[in-house]
Structures are given as C-alpha cells and as structure tokens.
C-alpha cells in the first residue's frame, strides 16, 4: 500500500503515464494495481520501477513511516509549549512529500488547526477543524478525540466555556493518551464558577503533567488549584500557599 503511494507520487512528479513507467517492465494494469495496493509484486519489478523513477524505496519508506512519529512529537511540543521545537517540527513536516495524502493527513490538519489557534488565527483554525469534522467517519479513535480536544481549545479561546466543556466531555481518556485535556476541563469549570470540578480535573491534569515532566504546565495547573483553594480560604493563607 505505502509502496504503491510512493511510486504513484514520483511517477506523477516525473510526468510519466502508467504506460510509460511500465514499458519494458510490466503491464499498465499491473502498474495500476501496484499503485492502488491491489496486487502482490516482486522485488525485481519494484527495483526496476524505482530505478526508472530514480528513487531509493527504502529511504522513501522511512520518510513515510516517520510522519506519524513526527506528528506525535509536534503534539508533545505544543502541550509542553516549546515554541522553538513547535516551529522546527512544523518546517520538517512541511518538507515531507507524503504529508497530504498519507493516512496521517487529518492528524496533521488537526494539529495545524491547533497551531493557528496558538497564533491567534481563529479563522484558519476553525476552517481546518470544519474540514476534519466533515471527515469524521474516516478518522481513527485517537484523531476523533484529538479533534474534540482541539475544538474545546477553539471555544475556550472564544471564552465559550459551555461549548468547550461539551467537546471535552466527549473525549475517552482510554483512547486518548494526551490527558492535557483535563487541564482544559479544569480551566473551563473554573470560568463557569464550578470550583469542585475545577479542582477535581486540576488534580488529574497535575498528575499527568508530573508523569510527563511537563514543568511549565505543572505551574499552570498548581495556580488553577490554588485559586480554587484560596477563594474562601483567605483566613488560612499560609496553609493554602
């Protein structure tokens, strides 16, 4: 499947038809089936095809397989608010030729939406989220949870806490290992003046940030917890601190 997508990409990039690519190697029908992943093919045939396309299939497969790992690294950098890493990984992803037609294209679109929201460009962020929402049935479980989480960030940026909470409540923590969403549940609950839930979700977020050594977000979460504890506890200020 991946091999076929790679061959198709470089064939089209070289301006070759399937007939031209297969000339002297195999039939146009066979090339079509290889590109669609609908047939078994020998290494001899793929070697001849790749030689004609002037590509190293092993290296191209490494680029293809690197995408998902790199996307998770990008998400991690966003969660940890590592600005330099965020920009560096964004550029690395942009240079990957398989970004927009691999199985990870919606994963990337959702993260790109979050990137734009971080930059304060709500319109671009929402446009990407809308396109991913239309593809809901094609998303895997992780991507669906990630989409719900990113929608919540969008609504939080608009100070629409009710909508943010509605999306956050759709997240399944067993399917979605980015438990940063508990922090957004905590802040949304705080803004809705629900201190009990804010404290509860804050403690869950704090546990996650400690497990992942996310020191910057630990401080953010402890501040949220402190606010909940201090609202009616001014007489016990030292203990609260």
Q: Would you call 101 helix, strand, or coil by DSSP?
A: coil
Q: Which of 136, 171, 206 is the last residue of a domain?
A: 171
Range of the domain at 113: 63-171
Name the residue among 167, 148, 77 with its Cα closest to residue 115: 77
What is residue 121's predicted lDDT score, i.e. its pLDDT?
A: 97
Question: What is the distance of C-alpha 204 from the center of its chain?
Answer: 22
What is residue 89's predicted lDDT score, i.e. its pLDDT?
A: 97
Q: Please indicate, yes or no, whether residues 123 and 216 belong to a single structural domain of this protein.
A: no
What is residue 72's predicted lDDT score, i.e. its pLDDT?
A: 96
CA 1/CA 120 separation, integer angstroms: 38
CATH number at residue 16: 1.10.260.40
| H-state helical runs in the chain | 2-13, 18-22, 28-36, 43-53, 57-79, 83-94, 105-118, 122-134, 141-157, 161-168, 181-191, 195-211, 215-230, 237-240
Q: Please indicate, yes or no, whether residues 72 and 166 belong to a single structural domain of this protein.
A: yes
Q: Please indicate, yes or no, whether residues 13 and 69 belong to a single structural domain of this protein.
A: no
Q: Please indicate, yes or no, whether residues 45 and 134 belong to a single structural domain of this protein.
A: no
Residues 6+ apart with CB under 8 A from 1: 37
Name the residue among 201, 195, 197 with its Cα closest to residue 229: 195
CB 80 within 8 A of CB 178: no
What tens digit of pLDDT does each residue of 104-152 get? Answer: 899 999 999 999 999 999 999 999 999 999 999 999 999 999 999 999 9
Residue-by-residue pLDDT tens, the chain, 241 positions: 788 889 998 999 899 999 999 999 999 999 998 888 877 778 899 899 999 999 999 998 988 888 989 999 999 999 999 999 999 999 999 998 888 877 889 999 999 999 999 999 999 999 999 999 999 999 999 999 999 999 999 999 999 999 999 999 999 999 999 999 999 999 999 999 999 999 999 999 999 999 999 999 999 999 999 988 865 554 454 554 4
The tally of domains found in the chain comes to 3
What is residue 234's predicted lDDT score, i.e. its pLDDT?
A: 46
Q: Please indicate, yes or no, whether residues 67 and 127 belong to a single structural domain of this protein.
A: yes
CB 230 within 8 A of CB 201: no
Q: Please indicate, yes or no, whether residues 185 and 160 belong to a single structural domain of this protein.
A: no
Q: Please indicate, yes or no, whether residues 202 and 118 belong to a single structural domain of this protein.
A: no
Burial of 104 (0-12, 13-18, 19+ CB in 10 A): buried
Name the residue among 92, 154, 104 with its Cα closest to residue 128: 154
Q: Please indicate, yes or no, whether residues 38 and 71 belong to a single structural domain of this protein.
A: no
Q: Please indicate, yes or no, whether residues 23 and 68 belong to a single structural domain of this protein.
A: no
Q: Please indicate, yes or no, whether residues 32 and 72 belong to a single structural domain of this protein.
A: no
Q: Please indicate, yes or no, whether residues 186 and 155 belong to a single structural domain of this protein.
A: no
Q: Would you call 65 helix, strand, or coil by DSSP?
A: helix
The pTM score is 0.83
Go through 207-232 and write b for each residue having 16 or more CB atoms within 10 A of its CB, e for each that does not: ebbeebebeebbebbeebbeebbeee
Q: Which of 134, 153, 171 is the last residue of a domain?
A: 171
CA 3/CA 39 separation, integer angstroms: 11
DSSP 8-class letter at 138: G
Q: Please indicate, yes or no, whether residues 82 and 164 belong to a single structural domain of this protein.
A: yes
Q: Which of 118, 145, 171 is the last residue of a domain?
A: 171
């Amino acid at each position: 499947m991946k091999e076929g997508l790679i061959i198709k990409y470089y064939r089209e990039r070289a301006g070759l038809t399937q007939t031209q690519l297969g000339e002297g190697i195999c039939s146009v029908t066979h090339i079509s089936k290889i590109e669609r992943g609908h047939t078994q093919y020998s290494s001899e045939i793929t070697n001849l095809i790749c030689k004609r396309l002037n590509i190293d299939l092993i290296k191209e497969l490494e680029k293809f397989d690197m995408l998902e790992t790199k996307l998770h690294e990008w998400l991690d950098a966003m969660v940890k608010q590592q600005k330099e890493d965020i920009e560096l990984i964004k550029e690395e992803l942009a240079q990957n030729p398989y970004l927009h037609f691999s199985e990870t294209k919606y994963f990337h679109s959702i993260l790109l939406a979050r990137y734009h929201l971080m930059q304060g460009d709500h319109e671009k962020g929402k446009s990407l989220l809308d396109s991913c929402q239309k593809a809901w049935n094609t998303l895997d479980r992780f991507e669906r949870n990630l989409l719900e989480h990113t929608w919540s960030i969008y609504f939080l940026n608009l100070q629409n806490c009710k909508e943010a909470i509605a999306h956050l409540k759709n997240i399944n923590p067993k399917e979605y290992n980015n438990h940063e969403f508990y922090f957004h549940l905590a802040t949304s609950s705080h803004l809705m003046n629900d201190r009990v839930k804010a404290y509860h979700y804050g403690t869950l977020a704090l546990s996650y940030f400690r497990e992942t050594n996310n020191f910057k977000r630990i401080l953010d979460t402890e501040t949220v917890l402190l606010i909940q504890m201090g609202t009616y506890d001014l007489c016990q200020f030292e203990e609260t601190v």
